[in-house]
């Protein structure tokens, strides 16, 4: 079966590599037919690459070739990936992607087009890199009402936090290493500021509850304000700081969804997720907690998931899989700062007496070299708006949410 790959960067080249290096096992799993990469679309030249016959700069070569029935879109970004994918689906070709930005922004339209054309649009690689999560959520957990999801969804930031905590490496050096390893986005601010994790939260929330959630509905806070002082205080409470995406079902018409640094206590399965690894913890009403763990970024792990989707499309070439979600509402994602109660880590310039007067009984934390005018503590449950009101006028150094996952 002939396939095309659009975008020959880290993931796209990994897809071609996996198709070739695993041709026998793939052929067995598609029912005997091997996959053959007929086109690789990229505007760049790759003079030393052995696939010269496959390279094209013209998208229409792929669109107009009836032999190509499955296309892997590994270009990233919304444009021109959206236009290309709409045209391919419109022509009845199935498309698989690792492009979380596109799925989070335009997934509803693309899934509707796939439905109309009796084609498949699959995106296992868009969340958690090589971790199986989209298919388990839509198939294995199909009998559950999902109560909540919490995930370490960005490999780059988890890698950076791990290097900072365990090796005292500077933020910049750790980021450079993540970029060299092909983990980071083209513009790494998407990783650092939580936008990449936000897109993945949107996809998970849309799948879990059946209504499209858009990135502008999900507040994202990144890891730039995390300091080694915060790390040390949290360590004294037997916890670690992770960049978490959290989703909570409230009722049929309301969910909470946000991305932020969070204190995770060491008893949690999420606490031991280090390096570039991701983990997604799904809380179902029948199954309880299930946790999916693996490499969340990188060439071959992500390619593993893209190629699995190609195999799935090849097996369903004349059948549309029932898969997707419907439209959402503007006010479907609530203002979690007003509605969700949780404990908070607070570091501020104040005395324990002042902290007690404002918050009552709290859990105080300590760190080596703690200045006498600095206090750090974990509050009782409250909303973020209530916390802000209590801290008004205080010299606050940092506030971090504490998760109950
Ligand atoms: N930049 C992303 C990450 C790649 O670091 O997780 C995988 O989506």
Q: Mutation test of ligand 1: which of 99, 133, 152, 154 has the most ligand atoms closer than 8 Å to its C-beta? A: 154
Lowest mean pLDDT among 210-214, 326-330, 387-391: 326-330
Q: Which residues line ligand 1 (CB under 6 A)?
A: 129, 154-156, 183-185, 191, 196, 296-297
Give the C-alpha separation, 198 to 217, whole Å: 10
Mean pLDDT of the 97-112 span: 98
211 tagged catalytic: no
Mean pLDDT of the 278-299 span: 97
Which atom number of ligand 1 is nearest to the Cα of residue 156?
5
**Measured in angstroms, how far is the CA atom of residue 228 from the centroid of ligand 1?**
23
pLDDT at residue 169, as a whole number: 86
Give which of 222, 218, 231, 229 is closest to 261, Cα–Cα.
Answer: 222
Residues sharing a CB contact under 8 Å with residue 371, sequence separation 6 or more, in sequence order: none
Give the C-alpha separation, 93 to 120, whole Å: 8
45, two tokens: 């030249």
Which atom number of ligand 1 is nearest to the Cα of residue 197?
6
358 near 386, Cβ under 8 Å? no
- Of 200, 242, 248, 299, the catalytic one is 200
> What does pLDDT average to over the chain?
96
Cis ω for the linkage preceding 113 (within 30 of 0) = no
Give which of 150, 129, 152, 127 is closest to 138, Cα–Cα.
Answer: 127
**Measured in angstroms, how far is the CA atom of residue 196 from the centroid of ligand 1?**
7
121 near 91, Cβ under 8 Å? no
Q: Mutation test of ligand 1: which of 7, 101, 182, 185 has the most ligand atoms closer than 8 Å to its C-beta? A: 185
Region at 161 (left for phi over 0; alpha for psi -120 to 50; beta for the rest): alpha
**pLDDT band at residue 187 using 50, 70 and 90 as cut-offs:** confident
pLDDT at residue 32, as a whole number: 85
**Sign of the alpha-carbon torsion through 103, 293, 209, 314:** positive
**Measured in angstroms, how far is the CA atom of residue 100 from the centroid of ligand 1?**
9
pLDDT at residue 319, as a whole number: 78
Please, is 331 exposed, middle or buried when counting C-beta atoms within 10 Å of its C-beta (0-12, 13-18, 19+)? exposed
pLDDT at residue 320, as a whole number: 78
pLDDT at residue 168, as a whole number: 81
Q: Is the pLDDT of residue 164 over 90?
A: no
pLDDT at residue 113, as a whole number: 97
Which residues in 32-120 belong to E strands, given as ranges? Answer: 36-41, 55-56, 68-73, 94-97
**Measured in angstroms, how far is the CA atom of residue 155 from the centroid of ligand 1?**
5
Mean pLDDT of the 166-191 span: 90
Which residues in 303-387 belong to E strands, given as ranges? Answer: 344-349, 363-365, 374-378
Number of C-beta neighbours around residue 53 at 10 A? 9
Task: Tell me the percentage of the chain whose pLDDT exceeds 90.
Answer: 92
Of residues 318 and 170, more confidence is placed in 170
Which helix or strand (DSSP H or E) is residue 59 part of? helix 59-63
pLDDT at residue 392, as a whole number: 96
Q: Is the pLDDT of residue 318 over 80?
A: no
67 near 2, Cβ under 8 Å? yes
**Measured in angstroms, how far is the CA atom of residue 118 from the centroid of ligand 1?**
31
* Closest residue to atom 1 of ligand 1, CA basis: 184
């Amino acid at each position: 079966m002939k396939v095309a790959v659009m975008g020959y960067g880290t993931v796209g080249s990994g897809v071609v590599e996996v198709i070739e290096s695993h041709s026998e096992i793939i052929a067995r799993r598609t029912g005997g037919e091997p996959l053959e990469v007929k086109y690789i679309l990229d505007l760049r030249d790759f003079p030393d690459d052995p696939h010269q016959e496959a390279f094209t700069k013209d998208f229409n070569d792929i669109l107009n070739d009836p032999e190509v029935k499955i296309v892997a879109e590994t270009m990233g970004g919304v444009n021109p990936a959206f236009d290309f994918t709409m045209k391919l689906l419109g022509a009845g070709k199935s498309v698989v992607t690792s492009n979380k930005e596109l799925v989070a922004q335009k997934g509803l339209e693309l899934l509707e087009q796939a439905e109309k054309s009796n084609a498949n649009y699959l995106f296992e690689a868009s969340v958690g890199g090589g971790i199986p999560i989209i298919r388990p959520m839509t198939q294995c957990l199909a009998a559950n009402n999902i109560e909540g999801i919490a995930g370490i969804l960005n490999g780059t930031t988890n890698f950076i936090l791990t290097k900072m905590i365990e090796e005292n490496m500077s933020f910049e050096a750790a980021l450079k290493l993540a970029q060299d390893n092909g983990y980071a986005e083209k513009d790494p601010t998407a990783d650092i500021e939580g936008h990449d994790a936000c897109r993945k939260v949107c996809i998970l929330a849309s799948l879990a509850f059946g209504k499209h959630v858009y990135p502008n509905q999900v507040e994202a806070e990144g890891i730039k304000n995390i300091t080694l002082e915060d790390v040390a205080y949290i360590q004294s409470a037997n916890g670690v700081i992770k960049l978490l995406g959290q989703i909570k079902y409230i009722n049929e018409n309301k969910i909470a969804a946000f991305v932020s640094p969070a204190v995770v206590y060491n008893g949690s399965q999420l606490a031991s997720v280090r390096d570039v690894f991701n983990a997604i913890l799904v809380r179902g009403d029948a199954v309880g907690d299930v946790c999916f763990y693996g490499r969340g970024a990188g060439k071959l792990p992500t390619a593993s998931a893209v190629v699995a989707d190609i195999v799935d499309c090849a097996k369903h070439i004349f059948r549309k899989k029932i898969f997707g979600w419907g439209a959402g509402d503007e006010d479907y994602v609530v203002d979690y700062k007003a509605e969700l109660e949780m404990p908070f880590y607070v570091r501020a310039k104040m005395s324990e007496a002042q902290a007690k007067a404002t918050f009552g009984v709290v859990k105080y934390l300590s760190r080596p070299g703690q200045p006498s005018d600095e206090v750090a503590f974990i509050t009782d449950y409250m909303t973020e708006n209530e916390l802000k009101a209590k801290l008004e006028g205080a010299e606050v150094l940092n506030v971090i949410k504490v998760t109950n996952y």
